Each structure stands twice: as C-alpha cells, then as structure tokens.
Amino acid sequence: MTFKALPHWLRATQPWIVTPFAGAAGGALAQWLHCPLPWMIGALLGVTLIRCLGCLTKPVPHGVKLGQWIVATGIGLHFTAAVVGQMLQNAGVIILASVLTVVTCGVGIWLHRRSGVDLATAYFASMPGGANEMVNLGRQQGADLPSIAAGQSLRMMLVLLTVPASYLLIFGGEAHTHTNAPVHLGWLSLLFAIGGLIAWRFQRWHLPNAWQLGALAACIPLTAFFDLQVGLPPGAGAFGQWLIGSTLGCYFDRSFFKRAPAFMLRTLAGTCSIMLLAIPLAWILGRVSGLDIPTLALGMAPGGIAEMSLTAEALGLMVPLVTAIQVLRLLMVLFLAEPVFRVWVRLRSKTSDA
C-alpha cells in the first residue's frame, strides 16, 4: 500500500505514519542478510528508498530522542569501574586521537576550496559535527547553508553504510552478537529517569544531541561509581536503532542526491580520505599506547557517537574507547570550530593586507 493510498485525513494528520513501517521492513531485511547494525542501516535504507520513490514521509515525532535515550543508556552501561580506570590511564591518547580526527578534516576543506567554494561553506561542511549544529554556526559566518546540510548528511550516510562492512573486511572477524548483562529493572529505571531529566535540561539549554549526551552523562558516572554489571532488556537496542535509522532516512530523497553533484562528489572524496587516514594514524597510536588498533581507527571515523559506538559493539570492539573519542571530538568541534574559524579569517585578512 502506497502513501497516497492511505486515507487523506490520516496522511494530513499523521504524515509520519509510513516511516516506522518502512524502517521495520528495511531492518528486518538487513537482519535476514546478516548485516552489521541491521536495524539502523536497514531502517535508514528502507525510509530513504520510499522517499526516493516519491513517498515524502516525515520522521516519527520525538522518535530520534527516544532512540538516542535508549541507545546512549546502553552505551553508558559499558563504562564499568575497570573500564573507566583504563580510559583515564589512556586519556592522552584519547585526546590526541580526537584532535587528529579534526585535523584530517582539512582534506575536505582543501578539496572544496580548490573548486572555488567559499571558506565558510567549505569549513563547516567538512567539520565532523552534526548537520544542525554546523548549519547554525555557518549561518553566522554567511555560509551556503543548504550545502553544509547536504555535506554533513551525506558524510553521515556514507560512514554508516560503509564503515561497519569495511571494518569486517579490513580487520577480519564477523558481526558480533552482543550478550546482554543481567537486566536489573530497578537500576535501569533509575538510570533512565536521571538520564531523561539531564537530557531535558540539556534540551532547554539548546545543547546538541541533548538526549544522547544526557543519557551518557547520567549512565557513565553511575555505572562506574557503583560498578554496575547491568544490561538492557533483549530487543531494546534494536528498537533504539530502528527509531534512529528511520529518522535518519528522512533526510534523503531524490532531490537531495541531485543537488550540486560536484559538491557531493567532493564530500564523498573528502570523507573517504578521512576514513583512510584514520587507519595509519590509529596504527601509530596503537603501537605507541598498546591500545587496540581497529578500535582506535573506528573511534577516529567521522561518524556520530551512537552510530560508531553501536558499530564497536556489533564488531566486538572496545565501546568505551570509541565513545570517549567520539564524545570528546564532538565537544571540541562544537566549542572550538567557530573560534578557530574566526582566527583563520583574521590571519587570512592580515596576510592579504600585507
């Protein structure tokens, strides 16, 4: 049944009604094909497909918030006392890996600039931050906002579709079925409640990814302090992935892929370059620190916190290490990208005046 075949009142009042069904169909197919992260990647592709076919369905209201809340809580449960101690011992490596990831984004800036794209658009389209956040920063600098949104969305889609399968190919192994720790409803209720309150406050402060960061801010310290050995109920992680993937698919349609093809190709080239650069950089850091090289490389991939942490879980890698690098990089970009850009512009103007 197509979207147009639904009753008019239902389409008018619930424009998102097809989204969860398309996401569920794509997730089920991806799971049947034994894809890594099936419910996120499959849902993304399922919703993208129907939108490209002309069914411009909308995201499920608050679906991505609920998905991030669930997934981030599950990620935070990996941060036991022993794991946090190990992260603190390797804090220098984590910081360096985050910095190097941001620096490698200069490849994307260089590619766009060589083709005549203005500096603000090239800069904010290439930063490994969220689309909404980079658009807001770019708006203040007079950048081309549709190009930034398209570049950020395409980078996210490319990373999510290629990184899990590529890591299985490059580093070997197979998709890992995570064995849940014992479910403790009391602790889980407390963690979800505190995480929800923090997320709500973060949202009031207009922080990005509020429900993701809020859940992590609650879950990580409590899990580490009480050394919890708790897991989510079976199926909860897949449910969160389905909600996030279905929402991500709503970013794409036929017009998206037709928009500025040269700009999109440069974005693809820049993203692929960053992912390839992550491997030798991670090898060097791993040899020096003794940390797992595939985990470091995944942490340095220009994806999102939830997507890369879930990939680490699916591949049996160190989820806390990937999460730590991804969170630190996000904070660096959000708080330093605009000041660094202003300094860059100021230095360029002084150089041209001289």
User: Cα–Cα distance between 10 and 298 in angstroms, integer?
Assistant: 42
pLDDT at 137: 85
Q: Output the CA torsion sign for 339, 340, 341, 344.
A: positive
Residue 54 class from Cβ within 10 Å (0-12 exposed, 13-18 middle, 19+ buried)?
exposed
Q: Does residue 186 form part of some domain?
A: yes
- H helices of 105-184, in order, are 106-114, 119-126, 131-139, 145-171
Choose among 228, 291, 206: nearest CA to 74: 228
DSSP per-residue letters across 237-266: HHHHHHHHHHHHHTT--HHHHHS-HHHHHH
**Interval 36-59: pLDDT, tens:** 788 988 999 999 999 998 888 888
User: Cα–Cα distance between 307 and 303 in angstroms, integer?
Assistant: 7
Q: Does residue 241 form part of some domain?
A: no
pLDDT at 20: 92
Question: In the block, which residue shows the tokens 């959000």?
Answer: 334
- What residue numbers bound the domain in which 319 lies? 70-173+181-234+260-353
Residue 197: CB atoms within 10 A of its CB come to 12
Q: Does residue 153 form part of some domain?
A: yes
Q: Does residue 9 form part of some domain?
A: no
Q: Does residue 138 form part of some domain?
A: yes
Query: Three-class SS of residue 33?
Result: coil
Residue 313, token pair as written in the block: 């879980």
What value does the mean pLDDT take over residues 194-222?
92
pLDDT at 295: 92
Q: Does residue 254 form part of some domain?
A: no
User: Cα–Cα distance between 258 and 329 in angstroms, integer?
Assistant: 31
Q: Does residue 100 form part of some domain?
A: yes
Q: Which residues contact 129 (CB under 8 A, 6 or more apart)?
A: 137, 152, 208, 330, 333, 334, 337
**Interval 68-118: pLDDT, tens:** 999 999 999 999 998 899 889 999 999 999 999 999 999 999 999 998 899
**H helix count then E strand count, the chain:** 18, 0
Q: Which residues contact 215 (CB under 8 A, 6 or more apart)?
A: 68, 69, 72, 73, 76, 191, 192, 195, 196, 198, 199
Q: Does residue 24 form part of some domain?
A: no
Choose among 181, 191, 227: nearest CA to 84: 227
The total number of structural domains that make up the chain: 1
Amino acid identity for residue 348 in this structure? R
Going by pLDDT thresholds of 50, 70 and 90, the confidence category of residue 179 is low
**Interval 140-175: pLDDT, tens:** 888 888 888 888 888 888 888 888 878 777 766 555
User: Cα–Cα distance between 129 and 151 in angstroms, integer?
Assistant: 11
Choose among 282, 330, 283: nearest CA to 302: 330
**Interval 114-123: pLDDT, tens:** 988 999 999 9
- Say if CB 128 and CB 300 are below 8 A apart: no
Instruction: Indicate the pTM of the whole model.
Output: 0.85
